[in-house]
Amino acid sequence: MKKKLCMFVLIVMLLLSGCSNYRELNGLSIVVAMGLDYIPKTKEYEMIVQIINPNAIATQTGAQGIPIISLVETGRTISEAARKVTKRVSRPNIYSHVALVAIGETLAREESLNWIFDVFERDSKIRVNIPVIIARKDSVYRVLNNIPPLDKLPAKSITGKIQNTSSLLGENHETQMREVISAISSPGREPTINGVTLAYETPESESLANTEKVKSTYAVINGMGVFRKGKLVGWLDGPPARSVQFVDNLIKETNLQIQCKKQRYDSMEVTRVKTKTDVKMKKGIPNIHVKVKSIGHIDEVLCNDDFDKAKTLDKYEKDSEKVVRQMILDGLTQAQKLGGDVFGFGEKFHINDPKAFKKHEKDWNKVFQKAKFKVTVDVQINNVGMRKRTYPY
């Protein structure tokens, strides 16, 4: 009987106590994106805090005004800048819904990323599975505050584009803050971060007028930033950028252009990509062997080859293997010149031979610059589409 009474009292106390940290939603400002840059003259961090404007995204009462509000402050630390923002907003900021962090190219090149994520890891209010981008050759403020015509929120538009191009083209992949932190902390890997640039910039890019034009200002995903010891040292653009995704087994689907005649190409879709990497040290030089296997589908033909014949398929398999091999080699050699092992070969070497890696742990990027590469590719075509014979031209 005493146990039942105690249980009843405990339940009543829990029901009556309520939530001590309960706050009304209409008394908060929800931060959906953050921007960080560095001002060399004052040696201060610049922070852009992007807040949702609830009146602009309301569905029942009708949307009014611009969907986001941007506040800018500076500080000797990121924490100081964030607290100084409170002078500009009437509600407490909550950071649990941040969907994007944009970093300025000046900060990435001059100040490095080695310390700026410390505040995010220490503060339990902020998640570390947030996508990170670099405002490439542009202002963080302009990139973040471009009002997209298709999506209401700029952060949603940018992350959607990264996910879209990652799954269909393969030149980029969504890099989250936790991945950047892990790469910075690892002696055998350097991070890569997507670049974002504004295209067709107009004075109306930060207003609702931008959404009323057929040809409006928009953010475009532009290359993969290569880092060395936390600092941005260069970019991988176009097909060579896919080499990172190939090596890391992140390619879901991509497309190859295979030359069939002078200035004429056929197109092949590549899926089910599997990559294995072997790293061995010979006389102080890393010998890296990248092995790629994939399935190919012919999805466009501009030369009148007969795909009913086995020799035609065999030719296209060999040609596509050459294209993939060269694409990966171009990415490997470009990253090697920049001196940043963004492929994580050092990590793979550490897993295979921890003792041997320890000898080169402190200067792995220099050792990586001496590496020799071997790339073997196996492509099997198993589909030529609904039409086997080409048009008679």
Q: What are the tens digits of pLDDT across the range 250-273?
A: 999 999 999 888 888 889 999 999
What pLDDT score does 143 carry?
Answer: 93
Angle of CA points 55, 57, 60, to nearest 5°: 80
H or E element that contains 2: helix 2-17
Q: What is Dmax (Cα atoms) for the chain?
A: 94
CA dihedral 124, 125, 131, 133 (to 10 degrees): -100
Q: Is 28 left (phi over 0), alpha (psi -120 to 50) or beta?
A: beta
Eight-state DSSP code of residue 108: I
Q: Which amino acid is at 266?
A: D
* Beta carbons of 173 and 250 less than 8 angstroms apart: yes
Q: What is the pLDDT of residue 178?
A: 93
The pLDDT, as a whole number, for residue 60 is 56
Tokens at residue 220, please?
Answer: 């475009």
Segments of the chain with pLDDT less than 70: 1-27, 56-64, 388, 390-393
The pair of structure tokens assigned to 226 is 């290569």
C-alpha to C-alpha distance for 313 and 192, rounded to whole angstroms: 36
The two tokens of residue 199 are 């295209």
Query: What pLDDT does 224 receive?
Result: 96
The pLDDT, as a whole number, for residue 269 is: 93
Under the phi-then-psi rule, with left for phi > 0, alpha for psi from -120 to 50, and beta for the rest, what region is 44? beta
Please choose, from the candidates 87, 191, 175, the residue with its C-alpha nearest in 3D space to the C-alpha of residue 132.
175
Going along the chain from its start, the domains and CATH numbers come out as 242-393 (3.30.300.210)
pLDDT at 212: 81
For the record, the structure tokens of 300 come out as 């466009």
Q: With contact defined as beta carbons under 8 Å apart, do 91 and 51 qualify?
A: no
Average pLDDT of the chain, as a whole number: 87
Q: What pLDDT is stored for residue 8 in this prediction?
A: 55
3-state helix, strand, coil split of the chain in percent (to 5) is 35, 30, 35
Are 304 and 206 in contact, with CB atoms under 8 Å apart?
no
Strand partners, 219: 198
pLDDT of residue 25: 53
Classify residue 111 by its DSSP letter: I
Cα(327)–Cα(318) distance, rounded to whole angstroms? 14
For residue 122, count other CB atoms closer than 10 A to its CB: 9
